[in-house]
Structure 1
Amino acid sequence: MHELVQAVLNSDEKTDLRQLISTLNASGKHYFLRNEILQSFAQYCHQSQKPAYFYHSSSVGKLIHYTHEIILAEENIWMVVRPRVASQEVWLLTDNCTKFELTTPRALLDVSDRLVNRYQPHILEIDLHPFYKDSPNVSDPRNIGQGLAFLNRYLCSQLATDPQYWLELLYQALRNIKYDDIRLLLNHHIPSGIQLAKQIKQALNFLAELPADEPYQKFSLDLQQLGFEPGWGNTAARVRETLELLERLIYTPQPAILEAFVARVPVIFRVVLISIHGWVAQEDVLGRDETLSQVIYVLEQARSLENKLHEEIKLAGLDLLGIQPHVIILTRLIPNCEGTLCDLRLEKVQDTENAWILRVPFAKFNPEITDNWISKFEIWPYLETFASDAERELLAEFKGRPNLIIGNYSDGNLVASLLSRRLKVTQCNIAHSLEKPKYLFSNLNWQDLEDQYHFSAQFTADLISMNAADFIITSSHQEIFGTPESIGQYESYKWFTMPQLYHVVDGIDLFSPKFNFLPPGVNEKIFFPYSQKEDRDSSLRQQVDYLLFSQEDPHIFGHLDNLNKRPIFALAPINSIKNLTGLAEFFGKSQALQERCNLILLTSKLHPAEATNPEEATEIQKLHDIINQYHLHSHIRWIGMRFPSRQLGEAYRVIADYQGIYIHFALFEAFGRSILEAMICGLPTFATEFGGALEIIDNQEDGFNLNPTDLEGTTQKILHFLDQCDAHPQHWQEVSEWMSQRIHNRYNWQVHTSGLLLLAKMFSFWNFVAPENNEAVDRYMETLFHLIYKPRAEKILEQHMAYRA
């Protein structure tokens, strides 16, 4: 970046930069983000009649494209430049744009505070860098999110460098594996790593004489005499394969061998999935709008985990000891449950043998609050006592400690951190969507937003849990480091200010191997291609078809004049981020689209009176206003009711029967479960380019990625696709099959669950062999919890205690 900056300063292009800054200054604003900067630069190039190459290829053009923020402060210009993903630099431009100086985030945070008139000279600085600087880290940004592969390579190199030391550590790790009081894998006949290597050879010689399918119980006593307890396999062939992997790992350590061996080690039997704040139940109680995707994710993950653990336990030969998996979804019990089962302490997860929803109530600080559902923005005062109560309940249900704790969302991750610390159990975090990057300037203006959102507690909780976690799973790479054009969700926690509360100068190490990309799957019993007619229920199809296109109901708005038009389908909660109002406006402004298509909207609500918060009510009314403004009543069907899962799967397929398309028009989408569902059902899907949808569709020609702020460009993309379908009738079918196959091959629960358990095993081993730094980080997180988080949570509790219905 130094060279590029110098190239601008040493050429006439510094005049162009100076004039661009003057243009920005004339707007009266002081803070500019990348889109505004690029638009201003494009306008400058046009007005100055610059040649076509100048916008992209000139030195100043390249610098502007790398720039993500500009702050105009007095005589200085501050630029946040991002030369590559996961790497940001702060440059100070002074002396009438003639001098550039590389400076620190600390200086920029002070300037940001002054920008909102909330600067104070002495403020708490949170700096996690010392805890990560000596840890093994990914060096190439392209490998961020592939922590498991990195850790495999690192551990194998250590084994090869100091084999005797690491052999002893490996022995100690295997020797400590138990299920309650049942010793697994090794017993006292093997007292050291060196002896382990010798005994493996004897065991392999013994096993070579046995038939491959000889059941483990027939030769178990012989293996125990050699020092090997149950857990190596259920047949002679399986035990031999596992021991051969260990022998190869000892003598010729390679990442693939390490991964294959660790995958077979039986250390995970009891798993806790934490999803706290929203209506966690089954069938018609799959969360509220703000939690629907999370609840579906957790239920499907629980089913897949229990199934995979059953398989692993049987292959290890441990089912003979009566060992079985036990999976618990931990959530809150809601006394005023509105006729649902959310006041039931224990509920079995459907289609499982031993997976359960365990509901623990919040302490009754003020029953008028705690006996009811509580928004994710208001939940913070109750999490510490919930974690303490849940610990007792979990230990009672498991009759022992869990082996893995998985947090979901900010609140679940914080509770996972508290439980993991107390129980000394491996912790996994899954965030799906972090609030901080969704709300622009939410950290800078947190005091103005505090009464509504309580971001000070949430962002602090995020910092604590993401640094305390042993490993973090993301559904897309962009969650971690974004794209060249956008900053990732976790990257936004690298450094930021909470004026008059604290400065984060280094909040997370994006190059840590704890980050791992592992997308979820889709329930293919419910969401499957429309072309699988033998699996479809004809009566359900007719019912859904009638509901989508013709049925009259108080919760359905609009009547379609022409049912032969191609349907555009959209499904989302009604809020400003999901942007259904933007979709309706885009459709309303295009006469060409209205002539060729009908718009079908599926939401959970239709009338402002049904809204649960002011933003939702505003968006519902805005959507009605847009329909009236553009006279869309005969071109649109707006269905305001919650579809059960089976009905929803059929809805996608019915739209596909009509060769329709699916549009996800969100201003930002961290991942987007509905995108997976629509695609696997065979719907050609267009989705926002802002967030994880880019990776789901992965369309190299950019034909199915939409910029929801560019209505004209979106219209042209949709019309171009429709033209292709009209000109080549097979085109729709080809796209449908391609999208369906992509989801089937890349986003499935079997791959997800195998990867998740492998990560848990590997990081459990890593914690055993390198625990010192973890303890230091945990102590630091405890300090943040008690000195920052708890006082913020207590302020919310004071408001709740004063509440009277």
Structure 2
Amino acid sequence: MSELLQAVLDSGEKNDLRSLMSEIRADEKQYLLRNDIINLYNDFCNKCQKESGFKQNSHLSKLIYYTQEIIQEDSNLCFIIRSKIAAQEVYRLTPDLSIETMSVQELLDTRDRLVNRYNPNDGDLLEIDFAPFYDYSPIIRDPKNIGKGVQFLNRYLSSKLFADPKQWLESLLNFLRLHQYNGIQLLINDRIQTQQQLSEQVKNAIAFIGTLAETEPYEQFRFQLQMMGFEPGWGNTAARVLETLSILDELIDSPAPQTLEEFISRIPMIFKIVLVSPHGWFGQEGVLGRPDTGGQVVYVLDQAKNLETQIAADIELAGLSLLNVQPKVIILSRLIPNSDGTLCNQRLEKVYGTENVWILRVPFREFNPNMTQNWISRFEIWSYLETYAIDAERELLAEFQGRPDLIIGNYSDGNLVAFLLSRRMKVTQCNIAHALEKSKYLFSNLYWQDLESKYHFSMQFTADLLAMNAAHFIVSSTYQEIVGTPDSIGQYESYKCFTMPDLYHVVNGIELFSPKFNVVPPGVSESYYFPYSQYQERVESDRKRLEEMLFTLEDSEHIYGKLDDPNKPPIFSMARLDKIKNITGLAECFAQSKELQASCNLILVAGKLRVEESGDNEERDEISKLYHIIDEYNLHGKIRWLGVRLSKTDSGEIYRVIADHQGIFVQPALFEAFGLTILEAMISGIPTFATQFGGPLEIIQDKVNGFLINPTNLEETANKILEFLSKCQQNPHYWQQISQQGVERVYSSYTWKIHTTKLLSLARIYGFWNFTSQENREDLLRYIEALFYLIYKPRALQLLAEQSSR
């Protein structure tokens, strides 16, 4: 039994628990989430006039704190308790306080009954369980180390090397033999046949190179090394080659995790990368702000550019320039024939400022021209992804003139395509979710049938399960994206155990303690986003133009609202107009605070200005809502709403103009998986207020380099902003202090150099793990394929038939 429950029963609080259960049963809600539970508990304590010590420190208060959900069924209560991160216990409590442990299956049946979707006479439902496939893999023990998979894997691999050096050195030798570029052998040749020869020749090579000048170019002693058995790839100078061979020598003699990571990270094995991002309008101009087109496009473009830069630097250091080795990065997206003035109808587009980074657009097959000729919502594209992957494979093989070395999926659709491509091409697959919709839409799995016609979650959640389990490694932007916080469930954790009533039960959807999870935050594009104080890098004409646009320009087509006093410091936000981004919530917060209106202006760069211009239902609703708030609270003269699409150059300068005016940036999302705009604002030097729900909790250290807000509590949010403004009035240096600490936070932890170095290191180490481990993934992949063909594909074909009749 739960220690938390037992502690209550063994104390004098037993009757309090019984009374609280009575209050819960009197509540209309049958399904209480954590906030509901805490609110009900607080009301109970107030009603019973409990002292603050009981309210906060009693055994009952601890039980309530760790209770994630309560489900009412008849007179019984089902308590889902999460006393530890990534672990839950489930108990049924009867009115007389008898307690039964519930299995996962019983919990899922209870949830089904809650929505009247359970009938034992219909027979059992399909159970999806991935747990057996992780029995053969190393597993992390401590929840604190979740998301540090590569460090764990290095310790595991080096311990194996130490325990059985003969077997592992044989694996290392075979791994070094693998590497080629366009048919040219790299690293070692046939002169080294055994582990013993490898060890001896490494020492001979070290002795030889030690006689050379450190700056001696590799070309000058290339042939002497080839005679010893070493091909290009060890370094570009004598010093670099000596360093790399010395690391290998140390690894052979006394394997250690750090040595292993350092060595594998130097192996030249990643030259060609595919980034998969099918949905939305993927382009470099005129796309941001369109439906389904925002942060992911920015992220993928920046990642692609910086991956090329990093691979090129690695190639140079490895001494492969003499072989004319060139990195190539392809962003695989969807070709949209009716491209609405964008370049999304072009098959191939070179990415600006790069040598060999391309957007490759592959069209969906013409099952239904009315659909496939046009943009398709990310919720509607599931019918086309299997054939898209088949067509994309052919296009990629032609563009690369062979297979890529790494495939990185983005979002649910991109990850599914990445899995299908990886399976067919036998290439390492990396998963990046950006956002898992299951966490964003409350009870979306439980009521999926009611939502299916609009969102098609049955396919999306199935795709997520398949791709995340198939991936060789998963990159998340934050720790809590995986397993949340002590009082909230992580996005991936939400896939651990859930029901899709009438479709399937997931009893173990993902192993959260698997070393495949790694936290690698994205960076900021420093060429566009940099501190406002770097005046020498700013273009004065751009600054003046954007300052006028933000504060005074009259343009009824693109700007709504005129400021009575443009000199007031601005509260600024920039995001799409959809529910989750909650721009209307910020407007309402501003509208309900007379003090904020007296002190500041509200300036929003958000989507379109007119309902009729949008093809997205959610955006149309938010446009109408924003106008309603402005009129209801008479915000005229205090708000500016810019319905413009900005280039990245203008986007960066707009932040800096806001900083010039001693403004603040507010990111009010109801949930934010990471928050690139937060990094952009912080590096520009704007004091930043951001939602506490999601990634910003790890970016911002509250009241040190920014501020965390609860966007659902409008009064509290307004008060936090007012408190900051008050401190700025009392201390003229306070605004500057928070500004500078925000800039330093980004430069220390969130640059693309840090991101790409780590990502490429991960790809190499997981490539080494997959080669050397005895783990057989074929059984896992067969299971995933079975689920794909038995669950996903029939539903995708059904959706295709529905779309064809429209």
Shift of 1:725: 0.3
Among 671, 687, 690, which residue is 1:687 paired with? Answer: 690
2:441 is aligned to: 439
Segment of structure 1 superposing worse, 44-53 or 725-734:
44-53
3-state DSSP of counterpart to 1:512: coil
Determine the structure 1 residue equivalent to 2:179.
177
C-alpha contact (below 8 Å) 1:279/1:287 kept by paired residues? no
Q: How does 1:93-112 map to 2 (within 5 A)?
A: 93-94=93-94, 96-112=95-111
SS in 2 for 1:253: coil
Which position in structure 1 is the counterpart of 2:383?
Answer: 381
Greater CA drift, 379-388 or 551-560: 551-560
Which residue among 584, 592, 605 is the counterpart of 1:602?
Answer: 605
Aligned match of 1:239 in 223, 238, 241? 241
Aligned mates of 1:238, 1:474 — CA distance in 2: 32
Counterpart residue number, 1:86: 86
Q: Distance in 2 between matches of 1:273 and 1:378?
A: 21
Where does residue 560 of structure 1 map in the other structure?
A: 563
- Judged with a 3 Å threshold, the aligned counterparts in structure 2 of structure 1 residues 579 and 494 are, in CA distance, closer, same or farther, namely same
Counterpart-to-counterpart distance in 1, 2:345 and 2:381 = 18
1:236-385 equivalence runs, <5 A: 236-286=238-288, 288-385=290-387
Output one character per residue of 1:150-179: Cα deviation in whole Å (capped at 9) or x when no partner: 111111111111111111111111111112
Aligned pairs for 1:200-215 within 5 A: 200-215=202-217
The answer to whether residue 510 in structure 2 is matched with residue 508 in structure 1 is yes
Structure 1: gaps of 5 or more residues: none
CA offsets, 1:624-670, max 9 Å, x none? 11111111011111111111111111111111111110111111111
Note the C-alpha offset of 1:216: 1.4
Q: Deviations over 1:75-118 (max 9, x none)?
A: 22111111121111112212x15222332221110000000001
Identity of aligned residues (%): 58
Which amino acid in the other structure matches residue 572 of structure 1?
A
How far apart, in 1, do the equivalents of 2:533 and 2:317 lie?
Answer: 36
Q: Is the 8 A contact 2:687 2:706 kept in 1?
A: no
2:456 corresponds to which letter in structure 1? Answer: H
Instruction: Trace 1:24-35 onto structure 2 (pairs within 5 A).
Output: 24-35=24-35
Distance across 1 between alignment mates of 2:285 and 2:320: 33
- 1:52-63 residue pairs with structure 2 within 5 A? 52-63=52-63
Partner residue, 2:407:
405
Task: Measure how far apart 1:319 and its partner are.
Answer: 1.5
Q: Give the 3-state SS of the residue equivalent to 2:635 in structure 1.
A: coil
The residue type equivalent to 2:226 in the other structure is Q
SS in 2 for 1:651: helix
- Are 2:767 and 1:764 aligned? yes
AA aligned to 1:119 is Y
Larger mean CA deviation between 32-41 and 248-257 belongs to 248-257
CA distance in 2, matches of 1:589, 1:318: 63
Q: Which residue of 2 aligns with 1:716?
A: 719
Q: List per-residue Cα deviations over 1:277-303 (Å, max 9, x = no partner).
A: 111111323473422111111111111
Residue correspondences, number: 802
CA distance in 2, matches of 1:174, 1:702: 46
- Deviation for aligned residue 1:444: 0.2
Distance change in 2, residues 1:433/1:552 (3 Å): same
CA drift at 1:371: 1.0
**Hey, what's the Cα distance between the residues in 2 that align with 1:194 and 1:113?**
62
SS in 1 for 2:192: coil
- Offset from partner CA, 1:456-507 (integer Å, 9 cap, x none): 0000000000000000111111110111121100000000000000000000
Q: 1:160 & 1:56 partners in 2: Cα distance?
A: 50
Query: Which residue of the partner structure matches residue 731 of structure 1?
Result: 734
1:187 alignment counterpart: 189
Q: How far 1:772 moved relative to its partner? A: 3.3
Give the Cα–Cα distance (whole angstroms) in 2 for the partners of residues 341 and 576 of structure 1.
28
Q: Is the 8 A contact 1:687 1:693 kept in 2?
A: yes
Q: Which residue of 2 aligns with 1:550?
A: 552
Q: Residues of 2 paired with 1:279 and 1:287: CA distance?
A: 10
Distance 1:219 1:713 in 2: 68
Q: Who is 2:540 aligned against?
A: 538
Residue 288 of structure 2 contacts residue 645 of structure 2 at CA under 8 Å; is this kept in 1? no
CA displacement at 1:701 relative to structure 2:
7.1
Q: TM-score, normalised by structure 1?
A: 0.98
* Paired residues of 2:136 and 2:775 also in contact (CA < 8 A): no
Contact 2:705/2:741 (<8 A) preserved: no
Stretch deviating more after TM superposition (275-284 or 139-148): 275-284
Helix, strand or coil for the counterpart of 1:209? coil
The 1-side partners of 2:707 and 2:212 are apart by: 57
Shift of 1:703: 7.1
| Aligned residue number for residue 19 of structure 1 | 19
Q: Write the distance in 1 (CA, Å) between the matches of 2:34 and 2:663.
A: 35
Q: Which amino acid aligns with 2:615?
A: T
Alignment-derived partner of residue 638 in structure 1: 641
Offset at residue 702 of structure 1 (A) = 10
Q: Which moved more, 1:634-643 or 1:727-736?
A: 634-643
Aligned with 2:667 (options 664, 676, 686): 664
CA contact (8 A) 2:234 2:240 kept: yes
Partner-residue secondary structure (3-state), 1:285:
coil
Moved more, 708-717 or 477-486: 708-717
Q: 2:710 pairs with 707, 712, 716, which one?
A: 707
Q: Structure 1 287/609 Cα, relative in aligned 2: closer, same or farther at 3 Å?
A: closer
Provide the alpha-carbon RMSD of the alignment: 1.3
Please state whether the residue corresponding to 1:457 is helix, strand or coil.
Answer: helix
Amino acid at match of 1:57: N
State the Cα distance separating 1:730 from its structure 2 match: 0.2
Task: Give the distance between the partners of 1:771 and 1:432, measured in 2 at CA.
Answer: 31
CA contact (8 A) 1:231 1:318 kept: yes
Which residue of structure 2 aligns with residue 653 of structure 1?
A: 656
Structure 1 pair 494–176 and aligned structure 2 pair: CA distance change class (3 A): same
The alpha-carbon deviation at position 322 of structure 1 amounts to 1.7
Contact 1:280 1:287 in 2 (8 A): no
Q: Tell me which residue corresponds to 1:574.
A: 577
Provide the C-alpha distance between the structure 1 equivalents of 2:313 and 2:176, rounded to a whole number of angstroms: 21
The answer to whether the Cα contact below 8 Å between 2:218 and 2:236 also exists between their aligned partners in 1 is: yes
| Contact 2:285-2:342 within 8 A present in 1 as well | no
Offset at residue 27 of structure 1 (A) = 2.2
Tell which deviates more after alignment, 712-721 or 684-693.
712-721
> Matches of 2:417 and 2:764 in 1, distance apart?
21
Question: Per the alignment, in what secondary structure is the counterpart of residue 89 of structure 1?
Answer: strand
Q: Which moved more, 1:103-112 or 1:459-468?
A: 103-112
Kept in 2, the 8 Å contact 1:67–1:82? The answer is yes
The structural deviation recorded for 1:72 is 0.4
Runs (4+) off by over 4 Å: 700-703
Whether the 8 Å CA contact 2:4–2:59 is kept in 1: the answer is: yes
The answer as to 2:488 corresponding to 1:489 is no
Taking a change above 3 Å as real, the CA distance of residues 97 and 570 of structure 1, as seen in their structure-2 partners, is farther
- One-letter amino acid of the structure 2 residue matched with residue 796 of structure 1: L
User: Which of the residues 414, 417, 423 maps onto 1:415?
Assistant: 417
Retained in 1: the 8 A contact 2:408–2:432? yes
Does the CA-based 8 Å contact 2:86-2:483 persist in structure 1?
yes
8 Å CA contact 1:120, 1:500 repeated in 2: no
Shift of 1:377: 0.2
SS in 1 for 2:604: strand
Distance in 1 (CA, whole Å) between partners of 2:574 and 2:423 is: 40
Residue pair 2:546, 2:657 contacting (<8 A) in 1 also: yes
The range that moved more, 433-442 or 128-137, is: 128-137
Q: Deviations over 1:718-739 (max 9, x none)?
A: 1111110000010000000000
Matches within 5 A, 1:58-69: 58-69=58-69
